[in-house]
Structure 1
């Protein structure tokens, strides 16, 4: 390893600065989970008992704060995804991956919004979304190659399912919080190769899908 590979360790925050940082994350987790990605940063700052300028010193952009707040959800999703990807049975791996994805989606409106949108100005969010798309492609392709999932399903179809599930979660979260599981398994029956019938509309292209996800992020 050359000396150019060695970076100095980041200076530890002062105790009071660390406490403000931690309060901001707790307040952001609560507000994003309840209100979604477009939650008020001013309210988050007030709930953390700091000035809005302090929030921006710790988190220069909304996405910086969002990623910090979603870190436990992203870790939870990643751990469940890893288990699903290790399942030998291709169809069960596909089902397990989607169940894990929708379970985490149902528990946090901020994560729900994050799944549904693209933020092209952020390399970190693009990397996370690209990884999710590769995982979905992997579990779907494996189920298709095994003859279990219908061959004409695409990534765009799964993202459309994520969008529709997000709206369902918004409508049922306080009245029937597990209703998403029934809808998911109804759709999984439709995805089985044995249920396949010709579809009159072609799937969205990758570019159409990406543009739609970007549009959602700018429309809020």
Structure 2
């Protein structure tokens, strides 16, 4: 039997069960510890050897993507709803609230949103899609005269980073504190609040490099 045919064969029931247990354990551990959580602990929690984990998921990113699939779909569904709203400002607000609500519920997904993983086509595609959504929802609000014109995609990513720190600090004591910060910033983003800012926004290249740096620094 050729290699291609072997790759297409479905997993045996026991192998499928081990894979599902690894994904379940990874979802819990990444949510609690972030994307740098111990793979050895995930394997132990799933009741398998670390070699079994690597047979199913050769890289950490492979396991991350399998574990994040439900959370990512939740986010994308909310994003599509926001982009379809008739009121551009309400769509902008809805998009950010959905993004931060998903971010708040999963430390690993929080990490994933904040970083870039160059060299991995799947994660690059997802991040490009998220960045395009940010651009679309922001541009709609700006063209409607609701959002200040000097906000850029980089400003929104900066907000994601700062919100991540707020979530880390408050998740155990005030798990919805992030909503206050979001709405304070939304108030500052309104067109009528605009005034000259002495610091220019980051360029797309600076933003990308900063997200890669966060990934490499861990």
SS of equivalent to 1:156? helix
Q: Cα deviation per residue 1:40-69 (whole Å; 9 max; x = unaligned)? A: 000000101111111000000000000000
Quick one: distance in 2 between partners of 1:88 and 1:120? 36
Query: TM-score, normalising length from structure 2?
Result: 0.97
Residue 48 of structure 2 corresponds to residue 50 of structure 1: yes
- Deviation for aligned residue 1:145: 0.7
Map of 1:116 onto structure 2: 114
Map of 2:8 onto structure 1: 10
- Deviation for aligned residue 1:11: 1.0
Quick one: distance in 1 between partners of 2:8 and 2:24? 22
Quick one: distance in 2 between partners of 1:12 and 1:147? 53
Map of 2:83 onto structure 1: 85
- Deviation for aligned residue 1:15: 1.0
- Deviation for aligned residue 1:121: 1.6
Map of 1:173 onto structure 2: 171
Quick one: distance in 2 between partners of 1:116 and 1:204? 15
Once the two structures are superposed, the pairs formed by residues 132-171 of structure 1 within 5 Å of their partners are 132-171=130-169
Q: Cα deviation per residue 1:9-61 (whole Å; 9 max; x = unaligned)? A: 82111111011100000000000000000000000001011111110000000
Map of 1:213 onto structure 2: 211
Residue 72 of structure 2 corresponds to residue 74 of structure 1: yes
- Deviation for aligned residue 1:201: 0.1
Stretches of structure 1 that go unaligned for 5 or more consecutive residues are 1-6
Quick one: distance in 2 between partners of 1:19 and 1:142? 45
Quick one: distance in 2 between partners of 1:205 and 1:134? 15
Map of 1:4 onto structure 2: none
Question: Which of 186, 189, 195 does residue 187 from structure 2 map onto?
Answer: 189
Query: TM-score, normalising length from structure 1?
Result: 0.96
Quick one: distance in 2 between partners of 1:58 and 1:216? 27
Quick one: distance in 2 between partners of 1:10 and 1:130? 29
